[in-house]
Structure 1
């Protein structure tokens, strides 16, 4: 993914869908940093709407990890996120609603 877009703090939904599909079909792993950064940025806003958006991107990120056949890396990342943000109750609730955690 273009480093300029990441530096400009663009969310995946702000980018051209056709470009994301091209990158995803060529090398899905290139999308991972884009989703990781978007998720962190939204969580930093510390409000429920941002948490919902972060969970939306977490679901997309999970799909990316499974497409590159790395479910173990996904599980490690999700465990890290749960631990890192364990005190953000609203985020945990949104993750449950998104069926990321039980």
Structure 2
């Protein structure tokens, strides 16, 4: 998919569900390629200064800005998203009560 920003200002490219965000300068062309078993099932939503890509499960997203320029991977198979990618396996977020940044729960008072 070739994206031509044709904008006077910068354009944001967002990749979901990771929430990865990239800023591109005005009048930049970006070639996006998708690699994976369901790579053609991606979804795109857009606004005047933003393009959001919703990638399918087990799909990598790659971007190149100019012919011959380096290609950057912008959604990784090595960093699977829980609930979407098969490689996530049994990974799951910790229960809220086990988060490290929470203060200790005060002891309960016995009823009077």
TM-score, structure 1 normalization: 0.20
Higher Cα Rg: structure 1 or 2? Answer: 2
Query: RCO (CA 8 Å, sep 6+): is it higher in 1 or 2?
Result: 1
Structure with a larger share of its residues in strand: 2
TM-score, structure 2 normalization: 0.19
Structure with a larger share of its residues in helix: 1
